[in-house]
Amino acid sequence: MDQHEPALQVGAQLEALITTMAHGGEGIARVAGQVLFVQGGFPGDKVLVRVDQVKKRFARGQAVEILEASPSRSEQRCQAAAQGGGCCDFGALNPASELELKTQVLREQLQKVGRFAELPKISQAAFGEPTAWRTRVRLGVDSSGVAGVRKLHSREVLAGVPCAQMPQELADAIFAQRFTPGSEVVGVLDALGQVHIVEVTAPARGKRAERTERVVLGSGIVTEQVGDVRFELPATAFWQAHKGAAQLYADVIFQWVRKWIGATAGLELQQEQAARLVGWDLYGGAGAFVAALGHGLASVRPVASTAAPSVLVESVELAPQAAAAGKQAYAQVDGFEVRFHSEKVERSFKSLRAPHAVVLDPPRVGAGAEVIAQIAAAKPNIVVHIGCDPATFARDALAWREAGYELEEVQVVNAFPGTHHFETLGRLRPARSSHE
């Protein structure tokens, strides 16, 4: 064989031992000296792989048969995934193994992408429910008007087959309906246990806006709650996917802001700082984390003062509907002031007061170095960064370090059980060399 020829050939079937997990949910094997990414393989599996793609430095394939199962493998718990659905790619992984596997993926991304020579403290959080955890689903509709998840790497709809992520009452309500062929359906089981189903027109490529064509069931206005704050928002508006996620993140934010307060108890705030503490809630949606941030700051007691300062939370969210829902939710909340800004985060900084604490929950692409540099220039005392993709979280962590902030603590949250996805919460503070 010519030395420039790839060792693996498209269409070939071969045996491989999966040794570790890659970001994106593929197993990793080494065959003929090349890295082979295997869809459907878990560490410890010996699999028969069909090679689908060969590049100069790696190849990709699909596990077509499990020859020897990993100890971490279990029975597939998702009917849709068992029939080729692109929903639960970790549905055949033992739930007890899932969080540690995801934590390993984060460690690798922090080292490779974030260039961390020494990792911060990493803790883990799980909800204990591997199925029926979703608050909302988005499904396709086939030519006969039946909804379902789409097949892996396909637009084909697996009509009428339930996904393990869906609560039974939500699945039953959706599959009892018939929809416009080719449309998309959003179904929500809200905090009150009410089911809402709306038919939507998917946004054009490159666009975020979609249009609700028909409310099929319920009012289309869902109720969600975090702590004592209740939100009323459209079924299509963003909310955390896992029913326990918003409350867990809010609790962590409150604890970490309080932790900063405890660590700086002897800090003499300037007179103007002591009079008013400011928090930024960026990419804030309807403001699910505003209360945690506001109450955390409100517990500050500056040196030489027994009175708590007034607190202002500036919440920035591009979607007008979400910002409007936040304004309504916080109209009757006491203890701090909230201002909502409906604009892009990167355009909002000039209109915001300098912050002491910042919470940001950017989309999957991350915040990016430009936004992070602008936040760092405002010199917050503490930052809580939430990321739903380990690679972009690691890239953003590198941008924070380059901007003069250090990642002190990380929590991996298994907010998407049965899938390779997870959330990462990071606590950052100004690097010691920048303020000593």
Residues serving a catalytic function are: 388
Q: What distance in Å separates the CA atoms of residue 44 and residue 65, rounded to the nearest whole number?
A: 14
Dihedral angle of Cα 73, 79, 82, 87, to the nearest 10 degrees? -90
Structure tokens at 43: 């560490």
Q: What distance in Å separates the CA atoms of residue 381 and residue 330, rounded to the nearest whole number?
A: 25
| Backbone φ and ψ of 362, nearest 5° | -70, 165
Q: Scan for tokens 């918003």, then name that residue.
A: 246
DSSP state of 343: S
Q: Which residues, 6+ apart, have CB-to-CB distance to 435 below 8 Å?
A: none
The secondary structure of 5-73 as a DSSP string is S-SS-TT-EEEEE--EE-TTSEEEEEETTEEEEEET--TT-EEEEEEEEE-SSEEEEEEEEEEE--TTB
| Backbone φ and ψ of 258, nearest 5° | -65, -35
Q: Which residues, 6+ apart, have CB-to-CB distance to 428 below 8 Å?
A: 382, 383, 384, 385, 400, 405, 406, 407, 408
**Among 125, 326, 403, 370, which residue's Cα sits nearest to residue 242?**
125
